[in-house]
Amino acid sequence: MADNSGIKKWRRKILGNWQRLYLKLKMMQLDAGPGFYSAGGLYINRKHKVKAGKNLFLGRHVHIASNVEFGDNVLVASFVGFVGGDHKIDGIGNTPMNQAGVDGFKTTTIKDNVWIGHGAIILNGITIEQGAVIAAGAVVTKDVEENSIVAGPYAQEIRKRNP
């Protein structure tokens, strides 16, 4: 049997570059570096900016509704959401919730070599440091330390990555 890995890498690189150009023209708020690849269904809210380093991989149906800066070599699985900071919830006066206004958006920062698992939710203004792993389904409400593995509804650190 012939080794098709070289052909697959070449095909993915060509497809990724074409896709990056197409999405850049379609979504002016996306600034992606070389090696960008999205598996499809990417949504970026038009109010927000996304900046990505080299080799960003986005799984299917990633939803971005906050400003996000990705480092190099970041993996984001399917159905991950980058959200939050949009509705004011304090001030229980006579103002209905749907008229309470919008909080200021903060930039979410994902440093180099981070892996975000399926269905994770990352709130705006969070920094995920280099080498961190976010487990599937985690809800990240606070910054994540370098090389940490976090899991669960409050993204609790379960351990550090082994060197």
**CA torsion, ordered 64, 57, 21, 124, to nearest 10 deg:** 20
The span from the CA of 26 to the CA of 84, in Å, is 24
63 contacts: CB under 8 Å, gap ≥ 6: 43, 79, 80, 81, 82, 83
In the residue annotation, 87 being an active-site residue is answered as yes
At residue 94, the pLDDT reads 76
pTM score = 0.82
Cα 59 from chain centroid?
Answer: 10
The CA dihedral of 54, 59, 61, 65, to the nearest 10 degrees, is -40
What pLDDT is stored for residue 20 in this prediction? 65
Spans of all domains in the chain: 5-160
Q: String of b and e for 120-156 (b: at least 16 CB within 10 Å)?
A: bbbbbbbbbbebbbbbeebbbeeebeebbbbbeeebe
Low-confidence ranges of the chain (pLDDT < 70): 1-3, 12-28, 86
Instruction: Give pLDDT, residue 139.
Output: 96
* pLDDT of 30: 85
* pLDDT of 89: 73
Rg (CA), the chain: 17
Residue 57 is predicted with a pLDDT of: 95
Catalytic pick among 48, 61, 63, 87: 87
Fold type of domain 5-160: UDP N-Acetylglucosamine Acyltransferase; domain 1 (2.160.10)
The residue type of 18 is W
